Amino acid sequence: MDVRAYLAERSPLVDRWLDDFLPAADEPPAQLHAAVRHLLFPGGKRFRPVLAMAAAEAVGESPQASLPAAAALELIHTYSLIHDDLPCMDDDDERRWAPTVHVKYGEAVAVLAGDALLAKAFEAAAAVLPDAGAERTVLAMRDLAVAAGSRGLVGGQVDDLAYEHDTPDAACIESVHERKTGALIAASVMVGARLAGASQEQLEQLHCFGRDVGVAFQIADDGFDEDEDGGCSLVRALGREAAEARAEALLGAALSQIAEWPERAEPLRELARFAVRRDR
Amino acid sequence: MDVRAYLAERSPLVDRWLDDFLPAADEPPAQLHAAVRHLLFPGGKRFRPVLAMAAAEAVGESPQASLPAAAALELIHTYSLIHDDLPCMDDDDERRWAPTVHVKYGEAVAVLAGDALLAKAFEAAAAVLPDAGAERTVLAMRDLAVAAGSRGLVGGQVDDLAYEHDTPDAACIESVHERKTGALIAASVMVGARLAGASQEQLEQLHCFGRDVGVAFQIADDGFDEDEDGGCSLVRALGREAAEARAEALLGAALSQIAEWPERAEPLRELARFAVRRDR
């Protein structure tokens, strides 16, 4: 299958849902609402929402069943990027060839736009679709909250910052990747599948799948440039060859979790391969 | 009734629930988990959680039925205080006679501790109690998300900052108070009552009640000192006498919403009076 075409077909569903859901950029306070949309439109590949929809499909439901929760994943991802870019964190001026939110709207509005996106994620996820029902919706919202919290994304970011001028070992680096990236990728596939009625066994397999894909993706996303300055780069810790091998091993472990799943899980498997191997 | 005794009796329920729920202060990353607890323990009066429990009681349920959601309100309130205190916002060094979170743990950890608290709020609120059921729980979580979002708390804070060196008129000031304070107070009583099975009519009455109590509380909380520097102070805009009268009028409007409610709504009414009149 053509995974780029698959992404290109699914991501506009997310774009449209988000555009309808979010206040217009000129709704007062206009600074805030423009800032909330700044990094979302035009967006990236909507990888996490598309993963959620592919996970719903893998357990036999239409992708639409998980659309609000899928959109919530993009809102959480976007909030985390805005806060990561802040002067007190990574202090980045540009992202996706545009000024970061704090450069364009100021630091206070950037913090608050991130806060608003995180709150909006739970408003989005609270849309109960008839097929999913309230019980699954609450559990999905709980998955999102746990992934975003201090044992997930936020905890990973704290350690990532702490290691910035340090030389952490491979286990510490993978622990950061697992929380900062793996937790939300794991939540993506779990939430999509949960709303589609996945069994407990399927959810456990998807949790491991998502976590390992997330770590492998992050290893690959850091690039295979050995001249990195320090901080959480597995290439810097292990060298290029070993880091590439580790990413491949994690991808293999992830795929083995759902290897027996039927043909309709193929998009999920392909998305995992694409996330890790991408341009290679 | 003795409202101080009522608060003193109920707030330890919230304290205990939060203490059990949150990671220990020494759980890694320890900086983060200590920061998350810093402003929560010892806490304030737990006014929002106690309001939620009083609202549950007012519609005929035991206060315990709303305890997780009540705790979620305190988590959201605390996150907002941590972010409000940041150097890029109000730049406060002290709160409740202790250093603020960013002074003690640094700015990055303060932003992230706030983020973690906001995420944790939804994890807390996702605890489905048998009496409440999943449907009411999702709606309560949605109430929380809307109150915390860009049309509620966050939007109010953006405008509050924008007016900092300005002289807004009374309507603008009340609009800020309504979102920055009123939205979460309204959510407190709505969530408590919703989980206890309130009717749509009761929820609408409580929404107006909470909003007006919130604005009146904020007017009173700003103090009746006319020497304020500017920004969102109704006393500065209207003078002491008119501001006091306005707070009383709002309290009266709030109480009229639930004037016909039975005796078991008396704690809710007393809490409203206490919030606005307090030490006067």
CB A161 within 8 A of CB B29: no
In the structure, how many helices (H) and strands (E) does chain A have?
14, 2
Distance from C-alpha of A150 to C-alpha of B22, rounded to nearest angstrom? 10
Residue B139's φ and ψ, nearest 5 degrees, are -65, -40
- State the pLDDT confidence band at A159, using cuts at 50, 70 and 90: very high
Q: What is the pLDDT of residue A157?
A: 98
Helices (H), chain B: 3-21, 30-38, 47-58, 67-84, 101-105, 107-125, 133-148, 153-162, 170-177, 183-195, 200-221, 234-238, 240-257, 266-277
pLDDT in tens, A182-195: 999 999 999 999 99
Contact criterion met (CB < 8 Å) for A114 and B114? no
**Cβ separation of A135 and B139 shorter than 8 Å?**
no
Tokens describing residue A250:
């994690």
Residues of chain A contacting B108 with CB distance shorter than 8 Å: 86, 88-89, 158, 161
B139 inside 8 A of chain A by CB: yes
Q: Which residue has the higher pLDDT, A232 or A143?
A: A143
Statement: residue A280 has pLDDT above 50 = no
Q: What angle do CA B19, B22, B24 make, to 5 degrees?
A: 85
pLDDT of residue B131: 85
**Which residue of chain B comes nearest to A82, CA vs CA?**
B111
pLDDT given at position B129: 86
Whether B20 and B38 have beta carbons less than 8 Å apart is answered as no
Separation CA A206–CA A182 (nearest Å): 12
Contact status of A88 with chain B (Cβ, < 8 Å): yes
Each residue's pLDDT tens digit in chain B (280 positions)? 899 999 999 999 999 999 999 999 999 999 999 999 999 999 889 999 999 999 999 999 888 879 999 999 999 999 999 999 999 999 999 998 999 999 999 999 999 999 999 999 999 999 988 889 999 999 999 999 999 999 999 999 999 999 988 889 999 999 999 999 999 999 999 999 999 999 999 999 999 999 999 999 999 988 766 665 668 899 989 999 999 999 999 999 999 999 999 999 999 999 999 999 975 4
Q: Considering only CB atoms, which chain B residues are within 8 Å of A184?
A: none
- What is the average pLDDT value for chain A, to the nearest integer? 95
Predicted structure pTM score:
0.97
pLDDT digits (tens, 9 = 90+) for A242-274: 999 999 999 999 999 999 999 999 999 999 999
Structure tokens at B42: 């010892």
- Please report the pLDDT score of residue A202 as a whole number: 98
Which residues constitute the domain of residue B197? Answer: 3-277
Please name the residue of chain B whose CA is at the shortest distance from the CA of residue A37. Answer: B150
Interface touch B159/A29, C-beta < 8 Å: yes
The predicted pLDDT at position B280 comes to 47
On chain A, the residues whose CB falls within 8 A of the CB of B40 are none
pLDDT of residue B224: 65
* Contacts with B11 (C-beta within 8 Å, 6 or more apart), sequence order: B43, B45, B46, B49, B50
Given an 8 Å threshold on Cβ–Cβ distance, is A83 in contact with B120?
Answer: no
Percent of chain A past pLDDT 70, that is, above it, reads 97
Indicate whether A226 pLDDT > 80: no
Closest-CA residue of B relative to A87 is B108
Q: How many domains does chain B have?
A: 1
pLDDT at residue B270 in the model: 97
B261 burial type by CB count under 10 A (0-12 exposed, 13-18 middle, 19+ buried): middle
The CATH number linked to A35 is 1.10.600.10
